[in-house]
Amino acid sequence: MAVDARPVHIGILALQGAFVEHQSSLERLRLSRTIQVILVKTLEELNQCDALIIPGGESTTIALLAKLSGLLEPLRQFVKEKPVWGTCAGAILLAEKVENTKKGGQEVLGGMSITIARNGWGSQVESFEGDLTVDGLRNSGEPYKGFFIRAPVVVALHPKPEDLPIQVIASLSPALLPPALQSPDHSDEPKTYVALRQGLHLLTTFHPELTKDDRFHEYFVTECVLPTVS
């Protein structure tokens, strides 16, 4: 495949969490543009990025370390201008509102018009994997195995009239929801949504970086990032 000369610089916030796994997934991709991964720990590194991935980990710890590193406000500005993908803890940071926060609340970056609940699936021992229904990925008819580890749950979508629409990229069968989250009629609802896109931003409540199936990384690069770079 012919590759254009100018590499695309995709940052991975590397303050805490599964950033190395995301790096490996990006480096496996074979696309029309060369991808150069930047592990972001400083403002200088952030400023080099065309796009950013915020990995899973511990959302309050990532936010605190970002604040101590002088990155919190620059990250908020970055979210307003460039593509960002948040996975698990990163998904929490991309939300407008967060429920079930630790004492003292939760700093967020915003960017997606949703409310999300921390640890919606329960504790570490209640982690699980399940097949997802996906829309928009390559080979969308092929199930995607999602790994949920202390995963957040999407509680509500609340885009304002002036906001970009929210697209459901992946959902989970309502039958797989914990009993406390299930509706009596098993209706399709935000709690079953596990991957959402709004404009340039992508959010996944599970961990795509823990599989060898790189379709979500491919989707983020080809659909969210490449259209924004020259």
* pLDDT of 40 above 90: yes
Q: Output 100-107 pairs: Cβ under 8 A, ≥24 positions apart.
A: 101/60, 102/60, 106/59, 106/60, 106/63, 107/60, 107/63, 107/64, 107/66, 107/67, 107/72
DSSP 43: H
The tokens for 139 are: 């080979």
Question: Can you give the pLDDT at residue 185?
Answer: 58
Higher pLDDT, residue 143 or 47:
47
Do the annotations mark residue 17 as ligand-binding?
no
Q: Alpha-carbon torsion 172, 174, 175, 179, what sign? A: positive
Question: Can you give the pLDDT at residue 65?
Answer: 96
Helices 72-81, 59-68: crossing angle, 10 deg rounding: 110
d(C-alpha 115, C-alpha 133), whole Å? 22
Question: Can you give the pLDDT at residue 103?
Answer: 78
CA dist 224 → 85, 160, 193 (Å): 9, 21, 19
Do the annotations mark residue 149 as ligand-binding?
yes
Q: pLDDT for 155-193, tens place per residue?
A: 999 999 999 999 999 988 777 666 666 666 555 578 889
CA dist 43 → 39, 94, 218 (Å): 11, 19, 26
Cβ atoms 151, 120 nearer than 8 A: yes
Which residues does the annotation mark as catalytic? 88, 207, 209
d(C-alpha 24, C-alpha 31), whole Å? 15
Do the annotations mark residue 59 as ligand-binding?
yes
- Mean pLDDT, the chain, rounded, equals 89
- Average pLDDT of the segment spanning 210-217: 94
d(C-alpha 153, C-alpha 190), whole Å? 8
pTM greater than 0.85 (yes/no): yes
Q: pLDDT for 102-145, tens place per residue?
A: 877 789 999 999 999 987 665 554 567 888 989 989 998 888 98
The tokens for 152 are: 């957040």
Q: Provide CB contacts within 8 A for 41, sequence distance 6+.
A: 14, 15, 69
Domains, the chain, ordered by start: 8-228 (3.40.50.880)
